[in-house]
Chains A and B, each alone.
Chain A
């Protein structure tokens, strides 16, 4: 299983889609144009600080609110390797998987971890932080296939022999 290490950005509970990608910037034509404004109602400078390979850790109900797919798309475009939250809103969950953004559910990490610290994730197995291991529940094979392909459309193209 894939194993990676990344720096943590720590967010709270109920991080809604209007915070992840505010309405004001949805009219931009590309996700790249939206990138600087991700999370801006909450932390204006966060998008600029996030580096490829970083990990977002958050509380419960991450991604609640609208069905705007720009929310997980912009997180992915910032290079965030995965999100680890206590729980996800269901539309965001599907949208993230469909765009190849890995989501991990874990109840404890958000309470233990400090922003800026480094954690190591072994996909479908465990998170390691500060000498402690946090087990994670495996995603079903069909969802892993979609994430590995980089999203639902790419997975279907691969499955149909188009790529």
Chain B
């Protein structure tokens, strides 16, 4: 019986010739990412251990991205704990360089790796054929100290993509459609694997947007095969695969879906769940107070280019705040060089420094009671972006930008 990509990566990390979904294995981690959401808690727990040591500091990457720059004495204090610990232990450390997952994908993630991140959207790394999964800080601490952890080998749901996304429709619309289809726990404990002819037209940025959001269906990880597009991205960023895996023909899948990309339309997830999706055109009666273009899901240069193409020569609607937040410093620089930031500024947008920003609802663009946000962020849970009685709609970079121009939820073809 063959193996899935998820099984092959865990077998490699467990040093076994084969593993099966449902098995529990002890695995060696290739990389351990943590951010300022919880690193200070990890440090506190580490300091409570007797004679603690880090198994391999070279595998650790610590990134301050949730509250950048720090917005209160409390966050300044927790970031100092993280910064000092990283310096003392020789841990790769970033601050102000962007959202953790974007930095990891630009600089670290290699196909075939098994990566723990103390952040739920670590599943994004499947875009490069790596098994990334989110853990809490105790699991992180255990892996950091021992170099190992235990994992339950997940079953895999496979999505066979065919055709091509229509003009103006994005990978973000595709993954929101899929989450709506299978539900917010439709892939709980499982891996989501994406294959098929439809993959060849999806850029790495598209693939990241798809994999990143799979945790919103409960997935443990998301995985894609390594192809020419992946290899070109890795070469451009000076890296090589550790191992390139494909699921065997006789691998066992929990479920399989065929999706024709040409049938996808612009989608919006309504409050307060990511699976509460409808075609964006059904939401044009929703007035907005704020629009957010950014996050690990949709803050890459491709997203900013798309937004800029929508807003060029137009202006943000009166009374609407439009926040544009590049996902990393390199995205920021490129957007600057391409004149994209100028386009947004001329249109009346507010350009922010690279960080999690509005998506995390703590330091920038927090919304007030009764306010409505349209966002390319990852979640629309109750209170996610501010006041508990506020409303978050999720949409693509094109939909968010068009909405900022109109002042209500709109698609780009309505401009």
Residues of B near A67 (CB, < 8 A) are 37-38, 118-120, 134-136
Is A128 at the interface (CB under 8 A from chain B)?
no
Contact status A61-B138, CB under 8 Å? no
Is B45 at the interface (CB under 8 A from chain A)?
yes
Q: Which residue of B lies closest to A18 (CB)?
A: B381
Q: Indicate which residue in B24, B75, B136, B379 contacts A98 across the interface (CB closer than 8 Å).
A: B136
Interface with A: B54-62, B182-190, B252-260, B368-376, which one?
B182-190
Contact status B135-A94, CB under 8 Å? yes
Contact status B141-A153, CB under 8 Å? yes
Interface centre among A14, A140, A162 (most CB of B within 10 A): A14
Contact status A23-B384, CB under 8 Å? yes
Interface residues of B in 190-247 (CB under 8 A from A): 218, 220
Chain A contact patch, size range = 35 or more
Contact status B218-A27, CB under 8 Å? no
> How far is the CB of A105 from the nearest CB of chain B, in Å?
12
Is B72 at the interface (CB under 8 A from chain A)?
yes
Residues of B near A23 (CB, < 8 A) are 360-362, 383-384
Alpha-carbon separation in the docked complex, A140 to B273 (Å): 32
Would A91 and B120 be within 8 Å (CB), given that A27-B74, A98-B138 are in contact? yes
Is B13 at the interface (CB under 8 A from chain A)?
no
Residues of B near A68 (CB, < 8 A) are 37-38, 136
Interface centre among B49, B74, B184, B220 (most CB of A within 10 A): B184
Is A132 at the interface (CB under 8 A from chain B)?
no
Is B261 at the interface (CB under 8 A from chain A)?
no
Is A158 at the interface (CB under 8 A from chain B)?
no
Is B50 at the interface (CB under 8 A from chain A)?
yes
Interface digits, A129-143 against B, CB 8 Å rule (1 contact, 0 not)? Answer: 000000000001000
Q: Which residue of A lies closest to B149 (CB)?
A: A94
Would A152 and B138 be within 8 Å (CB), given that A29-B74, A65-B381, A90-B220 are in contact? yes
Residues of A near B74 (CB, < 8 A) are 27-29
Residues of A near B75 (CB, < 8 A) are 27
Interface digits, A15-32 against B, CB 8 Å rule (1 contact, 0 not)? Answer: 010110011101111000
Alpha-carbon separation in the docked complex, A27 to B74 (Å): 6
Alpha-carbon separation in the docked complex, A66 to B77 (Å): 22
Is B388 at the interface (CB under 8 A from chain A)?
yes
Interface centre among B72, B137, B381 (most CB of A within 10 A): B381
Residues of B near A22 (CB, < 8 A) are 383, 388
Q: Which residue of A lies closest to B35 (CB)?
A: A67
Residues of A near B67 (CB, < 8 A) are 27
Contact status A153-B38, CB under 8 Å? no
Alpha-carbon separation in the docked complex, A18 to B390 (Å): 13
Is B95 at the interface (CB under 8 A from chain A)?
no
Is A89 at the interface (CB under 8 A from chain B)?
yes
Contact status B188-A61, CB under 8 Å? yes
Residues of B near A140 (CB, < 8 A) are 24
Is A99 at the interface (CB under 8 A from chain B)?
yes
Contact status A89-B381, CB under 8 Å? no
Alpha-carbon separation in the docked complex, A40 to B388 (Å): 8
8 A-B pairs closest in CB distance: A95-B136, A69-B136, A41-B388, A61-B185, A98-B138, A27-B74, A41-B383, A18-B381
Seed contacts A27-B72, A98-B139; 7 additional CB < 8 Å A-B pairs = A18-B383, A24-B362, A26-B37, A41-B382, A87-B185, A89-B185, A91-B134
**Which residues of B line the A interface, CB within 8 A?**
24, 37-38, 41, 45, 48-50, 67, 72, 74-75, 77-78, 118-120, 134-139, 141-142, 184-185, 188-189, 218, 220, 273, 360-362, 379, 381-384, 388
